[in-house]
Amino acid sequence: MLTSDKNEQTAPEKTNPENSKPMLFPVSPKLAAEAMVDDEKYRQMYQQSIVNPQGFWREHGQRIDWFTPFTKVKNVSFDDHHVDIKWFKDGTTNVSHNCLDRHLETKGDQVAIYWEGDEPGEQREITYRELHEEVSRFANALKSQGVRQGDVVAIYMPMVIEAAVAMLACTRIGAIHSIVFAGFSPEALAGRIIDSNAKIVITADEGVRGGRTTALKANVDEALTHPDIRTIEKVIVYRRTGADIPWHNHRDVWWHELQQLSSPHCQAREMGAEDPLFILYTSGSTGKPKGVLHTTGGYLVYASMTHEYLFDYRDGEVFWCNADVGWITGHTYVVYGPLCNGATIVMHEGVPNYPSVNRVSQIVDKYNVNILYIAPTAIRALMAHDKQAVEGTSRKSLRLLGTVGEPINPQAWHWYHQTVGEGRCPIVDTWWQTETGAAMITPLPGATALKPGSATRPFFGVMPALVDNMGNIIDGPGEGNLVILDSWPGQARTVYGDHERFVQTYFTSFKGMYTTGDGARRDEDGYYWITGRVDDVINVSGHRMGTAEIESAMVAHHQVAEAAVVGYPHDIKGQGIYVYVTLNSGVDYSFDLAADLKKWVRQEIGPIATPDIIQNAPGLPKTRSGKIMRRILRKIAAGECDSLGDTSTLADPSVVDQLIADRVEVS
């Protein structure tokens, strides 16, 4: 399952030819002095958090307002006969109170959200006071529609301010939200509604993204024709585009009509720390999606604390995470973390390269964004246009860059650092998962010297370890399955309605540990390098290799924008290496280029990594959160094109037909 001895070959030589070790970007003395945490303080706080977690979290649990203070801090068992995770369990609080009410006195007139529409020129802004009023009204609106504490509310909304209002309104009255990405199909939405027994759906007439509209309300109508949906009582519809939409008088209600009728006063309900906060279905790369459940107190403490420390967030700064609220990054770093910290955020409705490839940079300039947090897939898409992606912009407000979602190849890291950040902004490469709630392995900007491609060191309270396939802990530098040895407050508590599946998925592979499903290597400085999902690792002639490693080498080639690598059955080697490659715009695919790329990878990693097959792939099958669905690529590579399984959760299912048409026969 694990990659073998190819550790030092992850392509840093290309950027630092004299030296085979990865380049090191030390913290500037100025930043170390200004930041909340320098290296010494990081080490001291980390040590304290591990030696005395009760004391550490007793102190840091105070960062949010509690209605009833907690006396218990951590009550956790990772024993697979009895997995039970509780934090701050006798405390009571409310998330929307912490994100809104407590800022009113000092920050009522500060902008909470700058909203930038899909088309340049479409914009809105809302202050904390206004957001508080909108949320309170909508909380009353939900109550008027029969929503009670503990009910599940499905949210199928585009990236509009009202998506955040809906989330916060749920938390205000103790309803559990379950956001379904607005690009998911009606089938995917129906499946999630059935699994969660949602009582209400909140949607919009249409969503707008990249110049195209999606018929969200029509999708909801279609989803609700599913015979197994019996729980939905109302559909609340926000008017985004004003398009004509089908209407069912007995069931459908306009958002704006409810808002007009509702009082702007709504007391935030006192919630137990362990009361459910939200369900979020994992992206569905394998099997039926799991409804990961997060609870109230621990999640909020951990989301807000990581937001403050890992972005070294300072009062008054503008923070932009361009994730969609339909995935965990949008929950934690668009809404809950920053708003709990009283930050000003940017929310963008559209995609990074519409209508022009310098859109991200333009938005940075427009709102004087200080901190930009985006995914490697977006970085690579922009990198394909190199300087055009920043043309006509200064980006001088930027102080810090972040990335999340997949391993970032050093090539993309350097481009982000040099071209977007002009070499001035540290990059925090944050490793985490839907299940972890918030960042787990990440640099802290004032404390951590950076190595491109490494998520570096654990956050406070996080005890990562590497284990071999037998579950033996690997000490020192090495490579293995990434596990977490003890709980942290932001950890998911269960799979909604299926605790057994939670235990099976995360706690049985390695006893007493949380299994992340990722592989990683740890270097001589204790830095972690995520090598990708362990199920994406391939075995070629008995040599095990991380697909991420080969992909990283591929994308280091100057004509390659993106690459996805899978194994396919090979008579002699066991598995062969099949590479799907997306070329930079303007580059034509040819057999000579394919030969060149094979040679390139051979040089970058070694003969064993030489691709057997290269397929030109103008588009790759990605989930809405930007993850490549390797399951589909594996099937196509293996010639099993008629058993691809569910492709409905793809951002653009039509890429699959193209891939099948262009498939390379593997004799």
- Residues contributing to the site for ligand 6R9 (CB under 6 A): 282-283, 327-329, 404-407, 429-434, 455, 516-518, 530, 533, 625
CA–CA separation, 180 vs 224, rounded Å? 14
Closer to ligand 6R9 by Cβ: residue 266 or 444 = 444
| Burial bucket for residue 187 (CB in 10 Å: 0-12, 13-18, 19+) | middle
**624 annotated ligand-binding residue:** no
> Minimal distance in Å, beta carbon 72 to ligand 6R9?
28
- Alpha carbon distance 61, 93 (integer Å): 12
Listed in sequence order, the residues at least 6 apart from 591 whose beta carbon sits closer than 8 Å to its beta carbon are: none
Instruction: Give min distance, CB of 533 to ligand 6R9, in A.
Output: 5
For helices 128-144 and 161-173, the axis angle rounded to 10 degrees is 60
CB of 444 or CB of 455, closer to ligand 6R9: 455
- Residue 432 labeled ligand binder: yes
Strand partners, 580: 564, 615
433 annotated to bind ligand: yes
Tell me if 630 sits within 8 A of 536, measured CB to CB: yes
430 labeled part of a ligand binding site: yes
139 versus 628: smaller Cβ distance to ligand 6R9: 628
Instruction: Give, in order, the Cα–Cα distances in Å from 191 to each of 185, 194, 280, 288, 505.
Output: 10, 5, 13, 9, 20
Closest-approach residue to ligand 6R9 (CB): 434
Instruction: Supply the minimum distance, in Å, between the C-beta of residue 189 and ligand 6R9.
Output: 18
Residue among 91 and 443 whose Cβ is closer to ligand 6R9: 443
Residue 431 among known ligand-binding residues: yes
| Nearest to ligand 6R9 of 141, 404 (CB atom) | 404
Ramachandran assignment for 517, one of left (phi > 0), alpha (psi -120 to 50 degrees), beta (any other): left
Beta carbon of residue 246, minimum distance to ligand 6R9 (angstroms, whole number) = 33
How far apart (Å, rounded) are the C-alpha atoms in residues 525 and 49? 20
Whose Cβ is closer to ligand 6R9: residue 290's or residue 635's?
290
Query: In the complex with ligand 6R9, which residue's Cβ is closer, 516 or 547?
Result: 516
What H or E segment, with its residue span, contains residue 464?
Answer: strand 464-467
- Residue 429 CB, nearest approach to ligand 6R9 (Å): 5
Least distance to ligand 6R9 from the beta carbon of 372, Å? 15
Phi then psi for 456, rounded to 5 degrees? Answer: 70, -110
Cβ 626 to ligand 6R9 shortest distance, Å: 9
The reply to whether 560 sits in an annotated binding site is yes
In angstroms, the CA 458 to CA 332 distance is: 18
Nearer to ligand 6R9, 48 or 433 (CB): 433
The CA radius of gyration of the chain, in Å to the nearest whole number, is 24
Annotated binding residue at 63?
Answer: no
Q: Tell whether residue 228 is among the known ligand binding residues.
A: no
123 is in an annotated binding site: no
Q: Can you list the positions of beta strands (E) in 315-360?
A: 318-321, 344-348
DSSP percent split of the chain into helix, strand, coil, nearest 5: 35, 25, 45
Q: Measured from the CB of residue 506, what is the shortest distance to ligand 6R9 in angstroms?
A: 12
282 or 649: CB nearest ligand 6R9 = 282
456 a known binding residue?
Answer: no
Give the C-alpha separation, 302 to 455, whole Å.
Answer: 18
Q: Does the annotation list 43 as a binding residue?
A: no
Residue 299, phi then psi, degrees to nearest 5: -60, -45
- Least CB distance from residue 439 to ligand 6R9, whole Å? 8
Reported residue count of the chain is 667
448 annotated to bind ligand:
no
379 versus 581: smaller Cβ distance to ligand 6R9: 379
Distance in angstroms (rounded) separating the CA atoms of residues 626 and 629: 9
Residue 434 beta carbon to ligand 6R9: minimum distance, rounded to whole angstroms? 3
Q: Is 429 annotated as a binding residue?
A: yes
Rounded CA separation 622/632 (Å): 10
Rounded-to-integer distance, Cα 9 and Cα 26, Å:
22
What are the tokens at 257?
A: 């009509």
- Residues making up the annotated binding site are 209-212, 329, 353, 405-407, 429-434, 518, 533, 541, 544, 555, 557, 560, 602
- Residues making up the annotated binding site for CoA are 209-212, 329, 353, 541, 602
- Residues making up the annotated binding site for Mg(2+) are 555, 557, 560
- Residues making up the annotated binding site for ATP are 405-407, 429-434, 518, 533, 544
